[in-house]
Structure 1
Amino acid sequence: MVMQNLLAGVASEDTLEAARLLLADIRTALQRPNFQAAASTPVSGSRTTSGATAAFTPEPGRDMLVQLTGDWAGSVQLERSLDEGVTWCATTLNNSAWALYTRNVSEAPVTPSSTSERFRLNATLVSGTLNFLMKQ
């Protein structure tokens, strides 16, 4: 249905998001023809108040996936630590905010490169319930 809508020129935000997710899945499958499950342990949960999630310890060299769902208002920033969780900074790209979310998403924002990297989500919630998942 996604492809039919795109070919028909019906490009709603939902259709474009579904197409982007489909292309990301295809890209991931093509990069890993001999797929092996990640050794990392997913971090998931729900929040109704502002604050940071538990840290996610990724496996280097594999895309990290972030999924945010629920009926919530506010913002969520992906933060990275390069020293095993001692110091945290917002993720940036060319000194601009990166992986700063204000709505539900499912994407692969980073590919960790070091065993000392950790990631967490720092939420500033105005209302609602935020469900989150970080995994590989």
Structure 2
Amino acid sequence: MTHTQFFIRFDGWYEFLSTLLLLPPSACYVSISGDLVEVRMGWAFSARVPRTAITSVAPLRKSPLSRGVHGFAGRWLVNGSGRGILTLDLKPAQRGSVMGFPVRLRELQVSVEDPDGLVAALSAPLTASP
């Protein structure tokens, strides 16, 4: 089974701050393994969703001022930078966890170091396991 990992993009100042908050960039990633997509931002956010629940992936055209994990009513932003943000639409809604509390995910925006690579990986056809 193929396993691909994309690290969350961090601005230099936020990388320093998040490391102080025990959210080092090495613990912040999007991982694709078979039909499963996992998004982690250390202890602050986690979600595991099937690729088939991701109905669209598109770049975010505006740059948010905030960094970290923010959300409301099923729309969540997980970012360490205002650049490289992709919006993943999820249908049906999926479950995630913010600081250990369950949340509903309809839309997930995540900043990644290689947005084009993540789009390509999510767009690749699923291969059947032998």
- Compute the TM-score of the two structures, normalised by the length of structure 2: 0.23
| Greater strand proportion | 2
- The structure, 1 or 2, with the larger RCO (C-alpha pairs under 8 Å, 6+ apart) is 1
Q: Give the TM-score normalised by structure 1.
A: 0.23
Q: Which has the larger radius of gyration?
A: 1
